[in-house]
Amino acid sequence: MEPILTAAIEAREHAFAPFSKFKVGAALEDDFGRLHTGCNVENASYGLTVCAERVAVFKAISEGARRFRRIAVCADTESLTPPCGACRQILWEFCGDIEVVLVNLAGKTESIRMSQLLPRAFDASFLG
């Protein structure tokens, strides 16, 4: 199995999801091949919960990464789970049209581009 997929699967194990029990892991690969992982972190108000994909992006940015190749997202679902709308927006703004690899614990995978997940995306180019 590719290291990025293994990293996403392993990151899922660190998820803090006591309310939903829906654990997600992500691994974001930067242009140097480094992997930045994230997991979802819930809280009692739900609205302040942060998804695995956003944790991985923010962690990578905080570590100095600025250009990215792809992200892997892992959930324990039969149907592969894509990023939510908020994560799609963050991924587009910080990563552009990267490859998104979805994986489950059985090793099933699917690859899709951000432009397919978020067509006609809003970004800084519209701000003038």
Residue 63 is among the residues annotated as catalytic for this protein: no
- At 122, list the tokens: 């809003």
**Of 53, 63, 78, 93, catalytic:** 53
Question: What whole-number distance in Å separates Cα of residue 72 and Cα of residue 88?
Answer: 13
The alpha helices in 1-128, defined as continuous H runs, are 3-12, 52-62, 85-95, 114-117
Question: Closest by alpha carbon to 117, among 104, 93, 94, 100?
Answer: 100
| Catalytic center residues | 53
